[in-house]
Amino acid sequence: MRKNLFNVGALFRGFSTTFSYMFKRMPTIQYPSVKKQHAPRFHGLHELRRYDDGKERCIGCELCAIACPANAITVIGAENAPEDRRSPGERYAARYEIDELRCIFCGLCEEACPTDAIVLTPRFEMADYRRGAFVYAKDRLLVPPEAGLGTSPDERPNGIPADLGAVMRVKDTVDIETGYEATNRGHILRTQRRGLAAGPIADQSS
Amino acid sequence: MSSIVNAIPIWLVVLIKSAIVLLIVITTFAYSMLAERKVMGWMQLRPGPNRVGPWGLMQPAADAVKMIFKEDLTPNTADPLIYRLAPFISLVCAMGTFAIIPFSASADGTLWSVGNVNAGILLIFAIGSIGIYGISLAGWASGSKFPLLGSVRSTAQMISYELSMTMSVIGVLILAGSTALGDIVNAQLRLWFVIPQIVGFVIYLITAVAETNRAPFDLVEAETELVGGFHTEYSGLRFGLFFIAEYLNMITVSCLATLLFLGGWDSPIPGLPSGGLVGLLWFILKAGAFLFFYIWLRSTLPRFRYDRLMAFGWKVLLPVATLNLILTAVVVAVWPVHA
């Protein structure tokens, strides 16, 4: 006890540490007004995509529902009527529901999909007061035809549930070069990108 | 001008002075709380409150509104009268000291305080000692175990640390030859007492932290072990009163340290005017530095263990303070500093 009590050097070191921390840069992101730049392969809310001509990509094959480890996806397929074709194939998804409370955002549905219809977007603000609101049906999953191709999910009409406020600025915290340092996938990504001047992700972070 | 001033009855003067001091003190409390949260935030790499108003400046008002509208609970096992009375004892005693503290002095020597008491320092310690009853009674009257433990600790801690605190201050009183706060400051015009009384100053700083129940001596509250200690059962405005009292005590000991050791409103830079409005500025700067030190202390040091706290108080602080007192007394007896 005596040794600790009279260790004045340790006291000074402690005080200087806390004092110097007053002037350090804070890592805080003022969340609702400033949003973090997500990782390039972030797994967030799903969306059902369309083809260029406005037809749904989903053909109602239910492979996503089979692949889903959490049994979160319900697909009920139906035959396309010849006069009103929803999708290019024979069938389309009459009902497509994802229970986002069950979903573990693993992305296996994305990989199972033969037509790249279901994809995970970077959207993560899904908070709601009712449990029922987390069952996303086609009305919220399907990209509206008027949204246009290549519109980012945040800017799409009907695409944003429970938005917490306007985004003033996106804070770039992810460095693709170092952020994926440890993974084999990062190595592959870097090798693929070598020589590309400005990919879509480099655009976002600039 | 002076005839108009003289025409105002004395009770009205005191009333106006009290209102001004009360307003300033309450504002200081509100913003010292915000400053604490901000500074501690910066030291922990967070921004602190910044949502209410620009830069979080309306946070105290928001907190006050929250406190006022919260439900005022009284536990079944509590002693209702004492339980309700205790926060007021704390608050009244914490506010009472500001009636005596002079914040500056005019050129003709008039103190800028509500009342000028010739035993000022004694009165402040006396009021401070009564304030402890608020905490002790609150813990006892709550009728549950954590508050009781908190109040037991507070009693023991206060007794052992008040002793060393008084001992450390007596050295100053010997040097100044007076217990009036104005005279103590005037005695420091040549040399601030922090230099001859450096030991007393350090002991005062340590004991003042213990007196105000602040980290690292906040065993009375000790959120992690006593769930808030004496104010566990309190809610709403009554909890707010304890809160105010704690911060006011912090401001009191800071003001007192300024008056006793740092020359009060005396200019720290030779040549610049002291006293008057400039003196008030010096006083605020010095007291603010102490407040910052308390916040700094809180975010740096971990809480003491109870037995170590007692051992430190009785076996280290009290002997050192006594030695310092004896040494000062001998030195002053041999070389009288005041005629």
Element (H, E) at A13: helix A8-21
Residues of A in contact with B311 (CB under 8 A): 1
Q: Is residue B53 part of a domain?
A: no
pLDDT of amino acid A2 = 56
Confidence of residue A104 (pLDDT cuts 50, 70, 90): very high
Two tokens at B96? 């009472």
Q: Enumerate domains of chain A plus CATH numbers.
A: 41-147 (3.30.70.3270)
Q: Which residue of B has its CA nearest to A31?
A: B51
pLDDT of amino acid A163 = 39
Number of domain units in chain B: 1
Cβ atoms B69, B245 nearer than 8 A: no
Cβ atoms B231, B162 nearer than 8 A: no
Q: Is residue B244 part of a domain?
A: yes
- How distant is the Cα of B250 from the closest Cα of chain A, in angstroms? 20
Residues of A in contact with B39 (CB under 8 A): 22
- What is the complex's ipTM, to 2 decimals? 0.72
Cβ atoms B275, B106 nearer than 8 A: yes
Q: Is residue B1 part of a domain?
A: no
pTM of the model as a whole: 0.74
pLDDT tens digits along B15-43:
888 888 888 888 888 888 898 889 988 88
Confidence of residue A151 (pLDDT cuts 50, 70, 90): low
| Cβ within 8 Å, pair B42-A17 | no
pLDDT tens digits along A152-194:
554 544 444 333 344 445 555 545 555 444 445 555 555 655 5
Sequence-ordered list of residues with C-beta below 8 angstroms from that of B59, at least 6 positions apart, any chain? B34, B37, B49, B51, B52, B53
Average per-residue pLDDT for chain B? 84
| Cβ within 8 Å, pair A21-B44 | yes
> What type of residue sits at position B144?
S
> What type of residue sits at position A90?
E
Q: A138, A139, A159, A140: which is closest to A148 by C-alpha?
A: A159
| Cβ within 8 Å, pair A26-B47 | yes
Confidence of residue A150 (pLDDT cuts 50, 70, 90): low
What would you report as the CA-atom Rg of chain A, rounded to the nearest whole angstrom?
A: 23
More confident residue, A144 or B127: B127
pLDDT tens digits along B61-80:
888 898 888 888 888 888 88
Distance between CA atoms of residues B168 and B108, nearest Å: 31
pLDDT tens digits along B103-141:
877 777 777 777 778 888 888 888 888 888 888 888 888
Alpha-helical segments (H) within chain B: 2-7, 10-43, 59-69, 80-96, 120-141, 145-176, 181-187, 198-211, 223-226, 236-261, 276-300, 306-311, 318-334
Confidence of residue B173 (pLDDT cuts 50, 70, 90): confident
pLDDT tens digits along B227-247:
777 778 888 888 888 888 888
In this complex, which of B42, B50, B312 lies closest to A22 when CB atoms are compared? B42
DSSP one-letter string for B109-170:
--B-SS---TTHHHHHHHHHHHHHHHHHHHHHHT-SHHHHHHHHHHHHHHHHHHHHHHHHHH
Q: Is residue B29 part of a domain?
A: no
Which site among B43, B51, B293 would you substitute to test the A interface, given the most A Cβ atoms closer than 10 Å to its Cβ? B43
* pLDDT at position A69 over 90: yes
Q: Is residue B62 part of a domain?
A: no
Could you give the dihedral angle defined by the CA atoms of residues B274, B275, B281 and B285, in that order, rounded to the nearest 10 degrees? 70
Looking from the CA of B11 toward its CB, the CA atoms found within 13 Å total 0
Cβ atoms < 10 Å from Cβ of A112: 17
Q: A156, A158, A153, A146: which is closest to A124 by C-alpha?
A: A153
Residues of B in contact with A1 (CB under 8 A): 308, 311
Distance between CA atoms of residues A33 and A168, nearest Å: 5
pLDDT of amino acid A140 = 82
Instruction: Average the pLDDT over B321-326 and give the result.
Output: 90
pLDDT tens digits along A15-41:
888 888 888 888 777 777 776 666 666
| Cβ within 8 Å, pair A18-B45 | no
* pLDDT at position B11 over 50: yes
Q: Is residue B61 part of a domain?
A: no
Give the domain extent around B181: 71-334
Cβ atoms B119, B182 nearer than 8 A: no
* pLDDT at position B178 over 60: yes
Could you give the dihedral angle defined by the CA atoms of residues A80, A82, A86 and A92, in that order, rounded to the nearest 10 degrees? 10
Confidence of residue A66 (pLDDT cuts 50, 70, 90): very high
**Residues in chain A whose beta carbon is closer than 8 A to a beta carbon of chain B?**
1, 5, 14-15, 17-19, 21-24, 26-28, 30
Confidence of residue A197 (pLDDT cuts 50, 70, 90): very low
In the block, residue with structure tokens 């002037």? A23
Distances (CA, A) of B116 to A11, B104, B263, B276: 39, 12, 17, 17
Strands (E), A18-71: 34-36, 46-48
pLDDT of amino acid B224 = 75
Measure the CA angle with vertex B157, ends B284 and B255; round to 5°. Answer: 10
Q: What percent of chain B has pLDDT over 70?
A: 97
